[in-house]
Amino acid sequence: MPTYVTLLNWTDQGIRNYGETTQRSAAFATALEALGGQLVNMYWTVGPYDLVAVVEAPDDEAATAALLQAGGLGNIRSTTLRAFDRDEIDRIIAKAAS
C-alpha cells in the first residue's frame, strides 16, 4: 500500500482546541480506515510543523479524501509527500535505467 508523510500545522482553531488533538487523531484514523487506509503513526512535533502523520492508503485518491475530510474540519493545514520504501525505489531506479 502506498505510504504518505503528511506535515501538519494547526490553524488558529486547531491551536485553541489543542486539548482535543489526540481525539482528532483517533477520528482521522477511523476516517482513513473507512477509506481502506491506516494511520501508521502520528507524531506531535516541535519546530516548523505541529504534527507529522505517516499514512498508508490504497491510492492517492483515498489519501487525498481522508486529508480533505480532516482539513475540512478547520483544525489543520497539510502538506503531503508520497514516500517510497526500498523495494519501490529499487523498481523506480530499474525503470529509469532501462
**CATH number (domain holding residue 75):** 3.30.70.920
pTM (2 decimals)?
Answer: 0.92
Grid cell listed for 35: 477509506
Structural domains counted in the chain: 1
Domain span at residue 67 reads 3-97
* CA neighbor of 70 nearest in space, from 31, 12, 16: 31
- Cell reading at 56: 498508508
**Pick from 84, 2, 1, 4: nearest CA to 70:** 4
Taking only the tens of pLDDT, the chain with its 98 residues reads: 999 999 999 999 999 999 999 999 999 999 999 999 999 999 999 999 999 999 999 999 999 999 999 999 999 999 999 999 999 999 999 999 98
